[in-house]
Amino acid sequence: MSRPDRLTKIMQTLQDGRLHTAQELADAFAVSPRTIYRDMDDLMASGLPAKGARGIGYQAQPVTTLPSLHLTDEEIEVLNLGLAIVSEAADPDLRRAATSLGAKLETALPQHATLDAQTWAYAASSFGDSARGLSHMPTLRAAIRAKQKLRITYHSKGDRITSRIIRPLKLEHWARVWVLTAWCETRNDFREFRVDLIQSAQAQPQMFVDEVGKTLDDMPSPQA
């Protein structure tokens, strides 16, 4: 097995969340422990968030490798612009991810292409919760993909908070608001939810399958 192949395999192996000793990995790939130590050096140097304590072993959180890309200046601009917008999100998790992604890009790109703290400064916005809904995006998106039902609490008209079980179908960006299209099991009809008005979203254990009348294709198109 070639070295790149082995490095990939090691990464995948580490992402099971368990601890792996160098000796164990060496046996698994039929190389000497020395080679594993060298591999881990390289992996960590290239940013794999792996921890290794003496005598403990290695473990890593799930990561995806983005291979090297050639980007035009416009594409770099889009990258920075998108990052800047997301960085403004109120959700700590999202912001943390955006910050660490920004840091990685900053070290990876030549200076002229990176964010500049001065020119891209973000105001401590007094409308800090304007991007509040963004915090649910990963949950919603994952649920759409996995066809997993969701329980959401929603700030509907008239200041009432409602709780519903829905089948999430599609996320759309409409003007400046994200809209989640779903089949609402509580109302037994299609509904659209503004993401910024969703207070909480919890993936339910139940999955759903496409049923006639409840899929995106069955949705009546709005009249103009």
User: Which residues of the chain form contacts with DNA (CB under 7 A)?
Assistant: 2-3, 6, 21-23, 30-35, 37-39, 41, 52-57
Rank residues 57 and 138 by Cβ distance to DNA and give the closer one.
57
98 binds its own copies (CB under 8 A): yes
Q: Which of 124, 128, 183 is nearest to 152 (CA)?
A: 183
Rounded Cα distance between 178 and 18, Å, is: 37
DSSP conformation class of 20? B
Nearest distance from C-beta of residue 1 to its own copies, angstroms: 19
Nearest distance from C-beta of residue 96 to DNA, angstroms: 28
- For residue 15, what are the CA distances in angstroms to 32, 34, 73, 201, 203? 21, 21, 34, 27, 23
Q: Which of 173, 157, 162 is nearest to 199 (CA)?
A: 162
213 binds its own copies (CB under 8 A): no
186 binds, among its own copies, DNA, none (CB under 5 to 8 A by kind): none
Task: Classify the C-alpha dihedral 153-156-161-164 as positive or negative.
Answer: negative
189 binds, among its own copies, DNA, none (CB under 5 to 8 A by kind): none
For its own copies, which stretch binds (CB under 8 A), given 29-37, 78-86, 148-156, 182-190?
78-86
Count of alpha carbons within 13 angstroms of residue 71, beta-carbon side:
17
33 binds, among its own copies, DNA, none (CB under 5 to 8 A by kind): DNA
160 binds, among DNA, its own copies, none (CB under 5 to 8 A by kind): none
Place of tokens 């990963």: 138
Rounded Cα distance between 104 and 107, Å, is: 5
Count, residues near its own copies per rule CB under 8 A: 71
Joined tokens for residue 50 = 């792996």
For its own copies, which stretch binds (CB under 8 A), given 20-28, 32-40, 137-145, 197-205?
137-145
Site for its own copies in 144-183 (CB under 8 A): 144-145, 170-176, 179
Nearest distance from C-beta of residue 110 to DNA, angstroms: 22
Nearest distance from C-beta of residue 43 to DNA, angstroms: 12
Nearest distance from C-beta of residue 55 to its own copies, angstroms: 25
Contact 166, 147 (CB under 8 A): no
DSSP conformation class of 116? -
Q: What is the gyration radius of the CA atoms in the chain, in angstroms?
A: 23
Joined tokens for residue 118 = 């001065």
Choice from 141, 210, 211, 213 touching its own copies (CB under 8 A): 141
